[in-house]
């Protein structure tokens, strides 16, 4: 009994001192950048192909964050079509849905070519960081 009383007395925080904990935040592999442009998503469903209009909010060399007014399933693969601002060449990529917060969806690129990767590495540093 005496041991339990000593143990609990030792574990009580001192008055006036708040316990500080570092926020649990996962380190990203690639920085994200703010940008805005239209994106078309093509889903393959039981009813066939479904096209959805979305809006890019952020971009990295590995993926894209898109606002979509639709319910999508994590892990689903989609086709993305978009044109980077200042470019005339439309991109068509495959991507997998990795994250969702409300109607903001995070997709990881699956079919980024070397040329597209180079174009992103040239485009992104001119933008404001999003993370």
Answer yes or no: is 37 within a domain.
yes
Q: Which domain holds residue 122?
A: 33-126
Among the listed residues 2, 24, 30, the one whose alpha carbon sits nearest the alpha carbon of residue 112 = 30
Q: What is the pLDDT of residues 16-63, one digit of tens each?
A: 545 555 555 566 689 999 999 999 999 977 778 899 999 999 999 999
pLDDT confidence of residue 7: 46
Band of the pLDDT at 12, cuts 50, 70, 90?
very low
Q: Are the C-beta atoms of residues 126 and 84 closer than 8 Å to each other?
A: no
Please check whether residue 26 lies inside any domain of the structure. Answer: no
DSSP for 54-90, please give it. EEEEEE-SSEEEEE-SS---TT-EEEEEE--TT----
Q: What is the mean pLDDT of residues 89-96?
A: 96
pTM for this entry: 0.77
Residue 97 lies in a domain: yes
Count of the separate structural domains present in the chain: 1
Q: What is the DSSP letter of 21?
A: -
- Whether residue 42 is contained in a domain is answered as yes
Asked whether residue 15 is domain-assigned, the answer is no
The CA distance from 130 to 102, in Å, is 18
Q: How far apart are CA 36 and CA 25, in angstroms?
A: 25
pLDDT at residue 90 in the model: 96
> How far apart, in whole angstroms, are the C-alpha atoms of residue 93 and residue 122?
18
pLDDT in tens, 97-117: 999 999 999 999 999 999 999
Q: Domain containing 98 — which CATH number?
A: 2.40.10.220
Decide if 114 is inside a domain: yes
Sign of CA dihedral 44, 36, 66, 111: positive
d(CA 95, CA 75): 10
């Amino acid at each position: 009994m005496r041991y339990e009383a000593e143990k609990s007395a030792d574990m009580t925080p001192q008055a006036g001192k708040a316990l500080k904990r570092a926020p649990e935040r996962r380190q990203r592999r690639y920085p994200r950048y703010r940008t805005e442009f239209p994106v078309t998503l093509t889903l393959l469903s039981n009813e066939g192909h479904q096209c959805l209009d979305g809006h890019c909010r952020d971009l990295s060399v590995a993926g894209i964050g898109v606002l979509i007014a639709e319910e999508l399933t994590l892990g689903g693969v989609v086709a993305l079509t978009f044109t980077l601002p200042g470019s005339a060449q439309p991109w068509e990529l495959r991507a997998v849905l990795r994250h969702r917060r409300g109607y903001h969806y995070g997709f990881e690129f699956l079919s980024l070519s070397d040329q597209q990767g180079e174009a992103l590495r040239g485009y992104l540093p001119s933008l404001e960081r999003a993370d």
